[in-house]
Amino acid sequence: MNELTHFSAAGRARMVDVAAKSDTQRVAVASGILRMQSATLERIRAGRIAKGDVLTVADVGAVMAAKRTSDMIPMCHPIALTGVEVEFGEITEPDARGCLGIKVITKASCTGQTGVEMEALCAASLALLTIYDMCKAIDRGMRIECVQLEEKRGGKSGVWKRGEPT
């Protein structure tokens, strides 16, 4: 089991000192889903949301969130990101409530001393929250599901992928 590194010997919260770590190429991929009524998804597809192009705004929001992660997560290091990518896909298989959805996949990368998992997760979360914000007037029942890390590469721990044994 890994030691919780964000606590001092006295049990106080602390930002981990990464000065002794080597710079490596680091990449993290995260995903999440926003479930909505089929009519809402259709209006997004057709560009008929009053606030504008939903996915373009969500894409920009995701990049902004990745860049500002250390401002939102108290013990996160500011990271010089080298890239942020955002992809959207439709979920056309209805869930038990008959809702369809949009899936976001975000990828954050850097060369540095600490990973970019939180940046990828913040980007995915903010993309989904942006879509919710832009569509809430027509579908307040939307719900965010399964925001999760899919993969991370780099650093001492190497590669981790969801669903693979650790």
Any domain includes 55: yes
For residues 16 and 6, the answer to whether their CB atoms sit within 8 Å is: yes
The per-residue pLDDT for 1 is: 40
Tell me the C-alpha distance between 147 and 152, whole Å: 15
pLDDT digits (tens, 9 = 90+) for 39-78: 999 999 999 999 999 999 999 999 999 999 999 999 999 9
Q: Range of 39's domain?
A: 28-153
Any domain includes 159: no
pLDDT digits (tens, 9 = 90+) for 81-127: 999 999 999 998 999 999 999 999 999 999 998 889 999 999 999 99
The per-residue pLDDT for 133 is: 97
Residues 6+ apart with CB under 8 A from 9: none
Any domain includes 166: no
Number of domains in the chain: 1
Determine the residue type at 11. G
Any domain includes 88: yes
Any domain includes 37: yes
Does the pLDDT value for residue 2 go beyond 70? no
- pTM for the whole thing? 0.91
Helices 117-135 & 54-67, crossing angle to 10 degrees? 150
CATH code for the domain in which residue 70 is found: 3.30.70.640
User: If you average pLDDT over residues 127-145, what whole number do you get?
Assistant: 97
Q: What are phi and psi of 36, to 5 degrees?
A: -155, 170
H or E element that contains 103: strand 100-112
Does the pLDDT value for residue 4 go beyond 70? no
Any domain includes 49: yes
Any domain includes 124: yes
Any domain includes 104: yes
Catalytic hit among 53, 59, 95, 133: 133
Is 133 annotated in the active site? yes
Please name the residue ranges forming H helices in the chain: 38-46, 54-67, 69-72, 117-135
